[in-house]
Structure 1
Amino acid sequence: MSNPMQAKELLIRAVECDQSGRILEAQTLYTDGIDQLMNFVNGEPDEAKRKVFHTRIKEYMDRAEAIKARVNGKLMLGEVVSHVSIEENDTGYDYDQVFGQYMDRKTIEILVEEPYMQQNYQYANLVRFLELAITNCPNLKYFRLITKEAQDPKYTDNQKTNLGQIKADLERRNIAVSIKYEDSLHDRKIYLSNGFIIKIGRGLHFYKAPNPMYSIGLNNYKFRKCLQTDVDIWRNNSSKS
């Protein structure tokens, strides 16, 4: 049975995040807290107590719906502030050069929607992105990754292990992490809480493998050849709200 004190703690943290503008984290905490409270209430034999709990749950569900509306509003595209066309075999497009200037100390939350996170080079790309985020966003407090769950058995265990390692490392740096799996995910998007949205045709994975392996570009992606893709940077219209 779920612990009502744990649910209460999650919901208190949700309210605190909501009030401080960390709406992505608040959304996750509201969802987890409500789920735990519902599980507890379903096992409560006292009808009067269940009624009291349901009243409280309804209040938190209303708050969660309001947060969801705010999040959806933040994820709506506004105006394009930059467009970059990367051609096949181009070089000079490290993450920092492409969109690093839009990641700053005002960024306290980041959402990455990246369907493909199953192979070693894809985890390496995510780590490179997070290294840039930690460098450019000193006030980062929350990171959410939405990806597809690996279906091939040879990738399933590695996905849980590798993403778990990344999550644990960020949490050691006082950055809360949520990893969600959505099998229907198709679009690729990076949302920054300072109001910018980065859309890359190939997501984070627009680099070619170094050839030969030990050549310039192995570690510094500025020298790495790219796949053809387009990058659009949007500023959300409600970024000041």
Structure 2
Amino acid sequence: MGDASNLLRHSYQLVQQATAHDRTGNYQEALRLYLTSLEGFVSALKIEKNEKVRATLKQKMNEYMDRAETLKEIIEKRKGGIHSEPCCVNSNSDLVLPSVPTTSLSLPSVPNTLPGGVDYVVQPTAPIIETPYVPNVQQHHQQPKRGSAGGGAGQLVQSRRIEFGQTGCSYDSLFGQYLASATIYMIEDPYIRARHQIDNLIRLCELIVKRSNSQNSGRPIQVKLVTTSESTTQEDEVKLNFIMVSRVVIVNTKSMMKYNVSFDFEFITTSTIKDTSVITTNRGLTIKISRGLDMYYKPDSLVSIGGYNDDLRPIKHTINGYVKQ
């Protein structure tokens, strides 16, 4: 438990700092600290073998993840509209401040002891804060419909069959041109769980940023992932990884301004999604990959040719289809 205890001590200190920023309305910094602390909790969870300790730790992680999700929503709404009612001055020249709702939200508490009964310095519980008024902003984007792995209506633009071991098949080479000029991208893939599968997702998001030209056009880009999990425990662990993906574009203000991308995700039952990756855009294009995003053979090592450049990595047998609705 030694290594896990050190990780947890540091993570709980970060949570305490996060709640302090949360109390003062510094939501960007609070979210960053919550997510950084969760990285430590994940590392501790991998080390800890005691199931009772793991259960307690997962419970606390869920609290912090829920609060992080709430802060993400507040930050997104602030980014999209007016932050509050404007101040005004009455006839007596007295300053009238905007009203604030009385509804309060409880922040997750910081425990006095570490999971497993390890003593730790007493930490104050997180304060009760009031959520500021954030108006709902009407979105006028046309959301793409979920694709169908079985075909569906639409005109087949191109179909490409790729054999075992073929190279020159990076995402950009295969379908990069079909990602251009859209602003909303829905990705369906049932297997975004392991580290290399999440890396594939990051590569696809990078390609979307590149092809959508969001960096130069200033247009906001929305990316949503629809995926599955085999259990609640696996869903919690994968959900945390997705929150870390969101962190790149939501928490880091400079990154958000630079790339102008938002990321969201949803878990659905395995019976409603096929073993095929489907990418749908609001330009009416659907890209279907029979093998899914996890189409490459594992390289011998990251320091070998093909370790980073997917055009040099052998591919598994797959069929790509491009459909225009």
Q: 1:32 maps to what in 2? A: none
Displacement, 1:177? Answer: 2.6
**1:91 touches 1:223 (CA, 8 Å); kept in 2?**
yes
Which residue, out of 241, 245, 248, partners 1:162?
A: 241
> Which residue in the other structure is 1:222 paired with?
311
Seen in structure 2, the aligned counterparts of structure 1 residues 209 and 152 have a Cα distance that, compared at 3 Å, is farther
Q: Does 1:210 align with 2:299?
A: yes
Structure 2: distance between partners of 1:161 and 1:85? 35
Shift, 1:197, TM fit: 0.5
Higher-helix-fraction structure: 1
Deviations 1:99-118 (A, max 9, x none): 011121x2100000111111
1:146 and 2:226 matched: yes
Task: Find the structure with the greater CA-based Rg.
Answer: 2
Equivalent residue for 1:128?
203
1:99 and 2:175 aligned:
yes
Residue aligning to 2:94: none
Alignment match of 1:181 (pick from 267, 271, 276):
267
Report if aligned partners of 1:196, 1:233 keep a CA contact under 8 Å in 2.
yes
Q: Does structure 2 retain, via aligned residues, the 8 Å contact 1:111–1:144?
A: yes
Larger mean CA deviation between 106-115 and 173-182 belongs to 173-182
TM-superposed deviation, 1:157? 4.5
Equivalent pair of 2:297/2:316 in contact (CA under 8 Å): yes
Matched with 1:119 is: 194
Distance 1:232 1:170, change over 3 A: same
| Aligned-residue offset at 1:152 | 7.6
Question: Structure 1 residue 195: deviation in Å?
Answer: 1.8
Judged with a 3 Å threshold, the aligned counterparts in structure 2 of structure 1 residues 7 and 234 are, in CA distance, closer, same or farther, namely farther
TM-score normalised over the length of structure 1: 0.66
Once residues 2 and 114 of structure 1 are traced to their aligned partners in structure 2, the CA distance between those partners, rounded to angstroms, is 38
* Structure-1 residue corresponding to 2:142: 23
Q: Closer, same or farther in 2 for the Cα pair 1:74/1:230, shift >3 Å?
A: closer
1:118/1:150 contact within 8 Å kept: no
Counterpart in the other structure of 1:84: 160
Percent identical across equivalent pairs? 24
Counterpart residue identity of residue 154, structure 2: G
1:48-74 Cα offsets, whole Å, 9 max, x none, are xxxxxxxxxxxxxxxxxxxxxxx5499
| In 1, Cα distance between equivalents of 2:300 and 2:310 | 13
Q: Is the 8 A contact 1:109 1:143 kept in 2?
A: yes
Match of 2:64 in 1: none
CA distance in 2, matches of 1:127, 1:2: 36
Instruction: Look up the SS of the partner of 1:23 in the other structure.
Output: coil
Structure 2: gaps of 5 or more residues: 1-102, 106-130
